[in-house]
Amino acid sequence: MTTDELRLRLASVASKINAASNQLLLLGAKDLEGRMKLRIFSDAQDANNNSIGDYKSKSWIKKRKETGRQTAKVDLEYTGQLRNSIQVVQDSNETVLAIINNEDYLKAKGQEERRNKVIFEPSREEELDVQNYINDLIQEEIDKIFSRL
């Protein structure tokens, strides 16, 4: 193989990886979305993997019990609206995980301020797990591309 042929093949590989990058970022963001929702709403943990807290208001505890909700720990889940408003948004240039409506954004920020905790940001562990996941996806894509050469 000549140097020019190698250069063309490498350019082709780079082009194919770039073409797949939006899809790989979307998959990584969806993975992060799932991890964060599990941590926040099921495990009831903040971004430092500590408990969000305990319910203190007797009237809120009573209301949660009446609707069949657990009261052992703050899980920020009541109607499901806040959980559902955390979504991956993608346009041609960016992929982001966001709270998609202002009401729920203010609710989330209010919970963080009230509890003096970072909740709605990825934990360090989540960041590392998603980086590893995306790296694995990239490696799989590279392997597929090279197997076709």
10-residue mean pLDDT profile of the chain (149 residues): values are: 79 78 90 97 97 94 95 93 96 88 96 96 97 92 77
The pLDDT of residue 65: 95
pLDDT at 57: 92
Give the count of domains, the chain.
1
Domain boundaries, position 65: 3-147
Structure tokens of 113?
């301020």
Cα 62 from Cα 15, distance rounded (Å): 59
Q: What pLDDT, on a 0 to 100 scale, did the predictor assign at position 149? A: 64
Q: List C-alpha distances in Å: 99 to 15, 37, 92.
A: 33, 12, 19
| pTM, to two decimals | 0.85
Pairwise CA distance, residues 122 & 144, whole Å: 30
Q: Phi and psi for 117 in degrees, rounded to 5?
A: -140, 150
Q: What is the pLDDT of residue 14?
A: 77
From start to end of the chain, where are the E strands?
86-90, 95-99
